[in-house]
Structure 1
Amino acid sequence: MREREMDGGGGGEHRWRDWAGLPGELLASIRERLLVDDFVRFAAVCTGWRHSGPAKPAPQLPWLMVPPHSSGITCRFISPSDGKIYFVAVPELRGTRCVGSCHGWVATVSRASLEMSLVNPLTRARIPLPSLTTAPEITAVCEEGDDRVTQYRFRATGGISNLFRVEAAHGTIEKVVMSCNPTHAACKIAAGFDYFFPPASVAVGGEKWTVTNRACLMRDIVYHEGEGVFYGVDFTNRVLRWGVDDVGVLEYCRCLDFPGSGDKRHWKRHLVVHRPSGDLLLVFFDLASARSSQEVAPGRILKEMGAVRIFGYKLGGSAGSWQPLERLGGCSVFLGKNMSICLSAQEVPELRTDCVFFIDQSYTHVGRKPQRTHGSWVYDLKEGVWEPYFYRAWRNSHEAPLWFTPNIS
């Protein structure tokens, strides 16, 4: 790329400035400091700039991604770093429901079947996954004398069987987690379900899902990179684990008594791996009052909205116990149905530390009509207060946002 400029001597002559010929060290130094939006613009200038420096943008705060509604294709991305909103058309998400987000990829399931895939909404790359019906425990049911699938049968351990209509079956998936970037051949996928059914796993490029040996009502799943295993927590607060290779064996690790008192139906629980230490964190929320306080002024600090309890468990040593934590050691966690991640200020200098960023994705029923009760919040552990987190940027959306870590590599 060359740019022509006038000679400053007034002679009317032109000279060319070769921007593509800038030193590679200078380009690399600039590129490694860019966030993903500027990273994309930088790479679009010319071939030389595109291939200079690191292949990934600098670590940054997770974005909020609002998926398209039903048959739509336009995603909304909210960048917390600068508050900008980006609208991106992703036809690959049409007719799907997003059930997980890891490493810049979104796990989707068809609303009309149990076909699954992984999609990078920024590059529109797509990796197909086997249908959930490849697991022997999940079968399609047709009307007598008709080949059209009308229901899906889920058979859990112990002979428990449940039928779901085709249009409702996708709602049984609670969360999908990836062990690493799915462009790597070693990537394993785990799925937890929102009712009494065992978690299932599959390898990228595999032919079928494998269901584990124990049925449970899974509430959250996380992958522990240091140990190479998936951890899950069920609705009774039992912690479970299974390996990426020995996917058929699910074992209970340790029970955790429910902290506090009150109406337990309002409590949510999330697992997350503490990034610097590798400890396992279990975070509890009581959002009974938070859900009734969505309409708040921007920046207003809210108190007494609900309780947050965090417990830590040190893995790899002798038998220990869950210990209550009041701080996160210079880190913060981002929690939601689609992703649980811990970031440190060393990775992301702009991070607001010792905070819990949380997306609540739930419905309550008023009479016979479901009422949306989604919300996005940040809880400051030091101050003990809640604040809305970019809620007004997506509150009119039919879909609740996901945490999304941009990746264009």
Structure 2
Amino acid sequence: MAWLNVSGASVTMANWSELPIDLLEYLTSFLSLPDYHRFGAVCQNWWSVAKQKHSRPANQLPWLVLGDDYATQKRTFFNLLENKHYCIDIPELRGQYLCGSFYGWLFTIDIQLNARLLNPFTGKQYDLPPLPAYSEYFKTHAYLREPTEHSTATFAEMQMKLVWKAILDYDPSDRSDFKVVIVYGENRVLAFWRPGDLKWKFIDGYWYIDDVLFSNGNLYTITSMGDSRLNVVDDWSAPKLTQVKVTIPTIFDVMCFSYLVDIRGELLLVQRYREYNVVEQHHTTIDVQVRKIDVDGGVSVVCKHIEGYAIFLGNSLPVVVDPSKFPSCRKNTIYFTDISFTLNAPKYGRDDFWIYDMNTCRFSRYYPRNIFIPPVAAPIWFNPNPW
């Protein structure tokens, strides 16, 4: 391609589609995820570069995954970095309830109560065995009998109650020997699945588990109501929850929910206290306490800072971010999603979204309350991974 400059001389312009591959791969490391996908849409050569595993976009803040757009049935995402919504057409996510996000993968449950692992950007997925809560738990429960005042459950409610949370120990894109662990049923017990297994396997131990996390090669769980317990699974040949001898204050508050977080190998316990407004019929977070757990020493102590990091918590794998790389992200803060497991509150929907500042002990919103989110939307944090 030739152009004339102001002096009338012929100037040859480079063909952008023929830029060296190593240069294009280097450029992708500076792109946000939306720009990364725009990059891949420029031409066939750029698209092939964007699809290569070693070609990666810049580090991202996690996105908030919301529900389906009513008009288009596209999935709605909220990009915190840009403070902008995206409606993305991902057919595999239509009508799906999400109860886990990890390494760019989502744990989905459809209206027929089938569970899958899905990477929404590549379309790769794993069909999982029938959930034990559906095939066993609900056989003996009122959900399959005549509806009564206390037993009526729609399929949307069953979607929400089947799996409280799901996590992975490794990225399936990198390792084939990964494990999926779920906290399931209204009693919140533990089960796991590995590729090749024909069904979910139970993990003996405690009920009413709040959270579960892989840390330092072990699986930890936490219960927060009454006799708070930290439990561990360290032997997968005969997995069983064993109580860790660590002092955690007893909590007599049904509105408290606990999270486990790993920051550079250190185990943190985040306790979120919520209040139910009877008049408005919705939950809101009113207090947060963070404790550092010394597993070997058997103690937990209150900590007032998290080394400047920002933590994103919800029904997904915790995401720990260095805010120095993102000017819009605040240091020493915790970003919470709404975790209400109820389909009432038609007036407010889901609106328990907060940033908790550990320096000031104050709350502020990162998502506007005037944007209605249906209770069934199940917003979760999603760390974008296009592979």
Q: TM-score, normalised by structure 2?
A: 0.82
Residue type of the alignment partner of 2:49: H
Aligned residue identity for 1:380: D
Counterpart Cα distance in 1 of 2:82 and 2:72? 26
Q: Separation in 2 of the partners of 1:201 and 1:39?
A: 35
Relative to structure 1, the CA distance from residue 363 to residue 369 in structure 2 (aligned partners, 3 Å threshold; closer, same or farther) is farther
Note the aligned Cα RMSD (angstroms).
3.7
Matched, 1:385 2:362: yes
Task: Indicate the SS of the match to 1:306.
Answer: strand
Q: Take 1:393 and 1:244, find their aligned partners in 2: how far apart are those partners?
A: 48
Q: Distance in 2 between matches of 1:69 and 1:207?
A: 35
Shift of 1:378: 0.2
Shifted more, 328-337 versus 69-78: the winner is 69-78
Report the counterpart of residue 288 of structure 1 in structure 2: 275
Per the TM alignment, residue 51 of structure 1 is displaced from its structure 2 partner at its CA by: 2.4
Structure 2: tracts of 5 or more residues without a match: 146-150
Q: Give 1 or 2: higher strand fraction.
A: 1
Q: Relative to 1, partners in 2 of residues 1:67 and 1:255: Cα closer, same or farther, differing over 3 Å?
A: farther
In structure 2, the partner of 1:306 is 286
Deviation, structure 1 residue 330: 1.8
Structure 1 residue 70, shift from structure 2 partner: 10
1:96 counterpart residue number? 96
Shift of 1:123: 3.1
State the TM-score, normalized to the length of structure 1.
0.78
Match of 1:249 among 237, 240, 247: 240
Q: For residue 77 of structure 2, what is the aligned residue in structure 1?
A: 77
Partner of 1:155: none
Identity rate of aligned residues, in percent? 23
Q: Is it true that 1:343 corresponds to 2:321 in the alignment?
A: yes
Equivalent residue runs for 1:3-402 within 5 Å: 4=1, 6-8=3-5, 15-49=12-46, 50-51=48-49, 54-68=54-68, 73-113=73-113, 115-133=114-132, 138=136, 141=139, 151=144, 167=155, 168-170=157-159, 171-183=161-173, 184-224=175-215, 227-236=216-225, 237-243=228-234, 245-246=236-237, 248-253=239-244, 254=246, 256-258=248-250, 264-274=253-263, 276=264, 278-288=265-275, 306-315=286-295, 318-345=296-323, 351-362=329-340, 372-392=349-369, 394-398=371-375, 399-402=377-380
The more displaced of 381-390 and 69-78 is 69-78
Report how many aligned residue pairs link the two structures.
369
CA contact (8 A) 1:194 1:219 kept: no
**Structure 1 residues 327, 91: CA separation in 2 closer, same or farther (over 3 Å shift)?**
same
Q: 1:65 to 1:369 in 2, by over 3 A?
A: closer
Alpha-carbon distance in 2 for matches of 1:370, 1:200: 35
Structure 1 residues 9 and 344, CA gap change in structure 2 (3 angstroms): closer
Deviations 1:154-207 (A, max 9, x none): xxxxxxxxx996835431311000112223302210001253253000113432
Partner SS, residue 192 of structure 1: strand
C-alpha separation in 2, matches of 1:305 and 1:210: 34
**Displacement of 1:402:** 1.0
Q: Which structure has more RCO (C-alpha within 8 Å, separation ≥ 6)?
A: 2
**Matched residue type, 1:123:** T
**CA offset at residue 386 of structure 1?**
0.6
Q: Kindly provide the CA deviation profile for residues 324-351 of structure 1, in whole angstroms up to 9, marking residues without a partner as x.
A: 1000002121111233222234676764
Deviates further, 61-70 or 13-22: 13-22
